[in-house]
Amino acid sequence: MMLKPRGCNSSGHKGWYEVKCRICAKKIYLGDDIIYYCPKCAQKYDAYFCLADAKRVYMRCPYCEGELQLFIQTT
């Protein structure tokens, strides 16, 4: 998984990491946003999706047509 640290404590906990939505390139922050991923394509394509795009593709991966899974939910 391609994680990019952010903030002044870039070596901090996972809440300080971000991934990008594969469709719209929106920055999605771990711990802050709802993230969906494809279990088959996550390693190969970094297939992470924001909530809006996951709904737009009807919770199906645009690459392999597999079902998207909830990666992490906000607290």
pLDDT score of 54 more than 80 = yes
How large is the average pLDDT for residues 23-36?
88
The pLDDT score that the predictor gives to residue 72 is 65
How large is the average pLDDT for residues 10-38?
80
The model carries a pTM of 0.75
Q: Please give the Cα distance from 70 to 43 (Å, whole number).
A: 15
Q: Please give the Cα distance from 34 to 30 (Å, whole number).
A: 8
Q: Residue 13: pLDDT band by 50, 70, 90 thresholds?
A: low
